[in-house]
């Protein structure tokens, strides 16, 4: 049932308190009662400490490196990586964004064989690494949106702007709407609006007027709704979340060490996946974070008690 609940949250349902907890979790929750003074002291220590961005910096380097490969391959005509993140070839192997491929197939009323090969290859990769890891480790829009988020938080701290959350179910509705439009009209409207494809093509082939749309999205996120495209709109993120729902690479939460101070939820792009870190919410002593998690590592960096960390399910048992 845990996976069913995680998928329901990914489609837009609000987090809910677990109906059942393991005996070990009940015991741990009982031990944690009455620790308000201890947690307050920890919060004060966190405020005085310097931020650590180990995983964030690694992730930024990977995003820049992957997108730079496209650029250098094109400029020097080495044919290492051809195309863009929407559809490409790596050393001759076809790769295609899954949702974009679905839209093209619906618009054309058939699936071209090279497109099918590319979609299946990408699904195998992200089915292993965790679908939404694509968002935080590859997507160029994710990188510039993080920079926009930093500006939003600085302005919000001064009271200049404030965040206006939307319903996460909007993303599910748009996934269906764009698919139906492609099927009915033969045109892939989403590919025109998709900032990932726009930025990827701009990095490889040079800027175009379409970048004005990306700037408009970023401005909207800075002044009105924090990380709105990634949180509430992007059907690509939803698709990869589904693809990687059972991926062995994930973030694990350890209840015993957690002080429930909430630092992880403050930095998380999709904080609903960390609802289990609220005191009394975890259903077990160790819980895998759900498929809507982007595996960005921000919570791993910020957690003062190391209650959140990466794991590759099944690997520990082989070592």
Query: What mean pLDDT do residues 49-55 have?
Result: 80
Confidence of residue 316 (pLDDT cuts 50, 70, 90): low
Percent of the chain with pLDDT over 70: 93
pLDDT for res 91: 87
Q: What sign results for the dihedral spanned by CA atoms 84, 89, 95, 96?
A: positive
Question: Are 134 and 195 within 8 A, CB to CB?
Answer: no
Question: Are 100 and 123 within 8 A, CB to CB?
Answer: no
* Mean pLDDT of the chain, nearest integer: 91
- Which residues, other chains included, contact 6 with Cβ-Cβ below 8 Å and sequence gap of 6+? 245, 273, 290, 291, 292
Q: How crowded is residue 133: how many other Cβ atoms within 10 Å of its Cβ? A: 24
Q: What is the token pair recorded at 228? A: 């709105």
| pLDDT tens string 146-199 | 999 999 999 999 999 999 999 999 999 999 999 999 999 999 999 999 999 999
pLDDT for res 46: 64
Question: Are 191 and 107 within 8 A, CB to CB?
Answer: no
From 17-26, 94-103, 250-259, the region with the lowest mean pLDDT: 17-26
Strands (E), the chain: 81-83, 87-90, 93-96, 249-254, 286-288, 308-312
- Determine the Cα–Cα distance for residues 57 and 36; give it in Å rounded to an integer: 33
Question: Are 304 and 261 within 8 A, CB to CB?
Answer: yes
- Determine the Cα–Cα distance for residues 83 and 189; give it in Å rounded to an integer: 20
* Strand 93-96 versus strand 249-254 pairing type: unpaired
Question: Are 133 and 244 within 8 A, CB to CB?
Answer: yes
- Determine the Cα–Cα distance for residues 252 and 229; give it in Å rounded to an integer: 26
- Its pTM stands at 0.91
Residue owning tokens 């924090």: 226
pLDDT for res 50: 66
Q: What is the token pair recorded at 311? A: 């794991």
């Amino acid at each position: 049932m845990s996976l069913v609940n995680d998928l329901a949250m990914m489609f837009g349902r609000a987090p809910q308190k677990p109906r059942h907890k393991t005996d070990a979790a009940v015991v741990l929750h009982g031990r944690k009662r009455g620790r308000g003074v201890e947690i307050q002291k920890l919060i004060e220590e966190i405020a005085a400490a310097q931020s650590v961005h180990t995983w964030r910096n690694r992730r930024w380097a990977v995003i820049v490196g992957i997108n730079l490969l496209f650029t250098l391959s094109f400029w020097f005509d080495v044919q290492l990586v051809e195309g863009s993140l929407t559809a490409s070839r790596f050393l001759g192997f076809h790769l295609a964004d899954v949702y974009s491929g679905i839209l093209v197939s619906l618009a054309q009323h058939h699936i071209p064989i090279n497109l099918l090969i590319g979609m299946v290859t990408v699904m195998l990769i992200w089915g292993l690494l965790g679908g939404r890891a694509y968002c935080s480790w590859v997507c160029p829009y994710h990188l510039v949106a993080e920079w926009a988020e930093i500006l939003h938080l600085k302005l919000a701290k001064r009271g200049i702007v404030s965040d206006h959350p939307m319903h996460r179910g909007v993303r599910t509705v748009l996934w269906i709407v764009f698919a139906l439009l492609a099927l009915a009209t033969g045109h892939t409207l989403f590919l025109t609006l998709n900032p990932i494809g726009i930025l990827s093509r701009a990095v490889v082939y040079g800027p175009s007027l379409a970048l004005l749309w990306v700037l408009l999205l970023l401005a909207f996120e800075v002044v009105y709704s924090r990380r709105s495209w990634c949180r509430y709109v992007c059907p690509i993120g939803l698709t990869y979340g589904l693809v990687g729902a059972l991926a062995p690479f994930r973030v694990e939460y350890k209840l015993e060490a957690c002080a429930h101070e909430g630092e992880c939820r403050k930095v998380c792009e999709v904080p609903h996946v960390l609802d289990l870190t609220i005191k009394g919410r975890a259903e077990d002593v160790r819980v895998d974070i759900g498929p809507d998690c982007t595996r960005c590592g921000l919570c791993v960096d910020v957690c003062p008690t190391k209650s959140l960390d990466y794991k590759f399910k099944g690997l520990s048992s082989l070592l």
